[in-house]
Amino acid sequence: MNIQFRENQEAASPLTVKTAIADCDIHPARATRTELYPYLAKRWQHHLEVYGVHAYQGMMEGPPYPKAQPNASRRDAYPPEGGPQGSSLAFMQKQLLDPNNVQLGVLNPLNTGQGIRNHELSAALCSAINDWQIDKWTSKDKRLKASIVVGNEDGLSAAAEIRERAGDKNFVQVLLLSRNVEPLGQRRYWPIYQAAEEAGLPVGVHAFGFGGNPITPSGWPSYYIEEMVGHSQCQQSALASLVLEGVFERFPKLKMVMIEAGFGWAPSLAWRLDKTWQRLRSEVPHVKRPPSEYIREQVWWTTQPMEDPESREDLFDVIKWIGWDRLLFATDYPHWDYDEPSRVLPAGVSEANREAFYLGNAKKLYGVS
């Protein structure tokens, strides 16, 4: 939530170093409109100046539903040197990484080259943002790791981008968004999963994106809150598609991370999939095992925005049903619905589960020591 934080003086003291954590959802931003130009061919610089970006939604600038805050970000996260929230490494270090003792921070750049109707431009922008992540962020702070952003609607060029970056230790995952032209299990996206599996990289599916489909299966709603809550329904439909199209069966080493869409829905979805599959499995013979088994073995969830029921026992039930080994702590910095590390997990969690939740699961999944 959008709370004004006081500067944390204690963090500087070696006597009060906090337990190390991983933050699996950090959003780095560009300080200026043209910050990517050095990584783009002249042709695309010209294109952007003349035509701009045409996403699968009507607005030339900004989101279709106005956010609750400028840039959907904390008002205290503007860097002192100027630029939007999340655009300064120095300020991110000071506000997020150092005081919270973030040992691993996974970058998920948004508003990049994804969800764009011109697929060539999409590929060029994604490649540029990947170079930019190294230059501006991961090469300058070894705690930070990048995500390979790929042009989501063209599976072949996306796979080429993954293969080009494979083996580069700056990158720990491939990044997709949940909303695309088709549900994520569809064959047009399979080259992405194949390349990711070959590269040994998890595929993160971050809430959001544009694919031209209304964010409810009954048309466009009115409010930003409906879009926000709706991301978890989109994520559920995307995951159901991945299971039912047989993506996990076909790519058994593929690992998927559901990012920023909550996790409370996961047990119910898995139960519903299992129950329905019992009845209708003859339609999908390529789904050989109960859906919940694929989900249990091949899917992880980032925590923010954490579900916070009145009773912590309710939360613990849901986490137990998902598995304590499947959750990856995330703050969503610098966005307004940021989860503060010290406050998200109630008391009553074993030391081993707490360590797995905050750090261990992420290090293991992303192969970072």
Residues that bind other proteins (CB under 8 A): 1-2, 68, 178-186, 211, 213-226, 228-230, 232-234, 236-238, 240-241, 244-245, 262, 264-265, 267-269, 271-277, 279-280, 282-284, 305, 307-310, 314, 317-318, 321, 336-337
* Cα distances (Å, whole numbers) of residue 54 to 20, 47, 48, 51, 210: 41, 11, 10, 8, 11
| Closer CB to other proteins, 1 or 347, in the complex | 1
Distance CA 74, CA 72 (A): 7
Helix axis angle for 291-298 and 266-280, nearest 10°, is 140
Min CB(7)–other proteins separation in Å: 24
**Residue 356 identity:** A
Bridge pairing between strands 171-177 and 256-259: unpaired
Min CB(239)–other proteins separation in Å: 10
Q: Which of 189, 177, 121 is nearest to 149 (CA)?
A: 177
| Closer CB to other proteins, 169 or 187, in the complex | 187
User: Of all helices (H) and strands (E), which one includes residue 292?
Assistant: helix 291-298
Min CB(174)–other proteins separation in Å: 18
Phi and psi torsions of 335, nearest 5°: -70, 160
- Residue 317 DSSP SS3: helix
| Closer CB to other proteins, 105 or 115, in the complex | 115
| Closer CB to other proteins, 193 or 277, in the complex | 277
| Closer CB to other proteins, 101 or 186, in the complex | 186
Min CB(140)–other proteins separation in Å: 33
Which strand ranges, in their side-by-side order, compose the sheet holding 21-26? 21-26, 102-107, 144-149, 171-177, 203-206, 256-259, 299-302, 327-328
Min CB(287)–other proteins separation in Å: 9
Min CB(182)–other proteins separation in Å: 5
| Closer CB to other proteins, 5 or 51, in the complex | 5
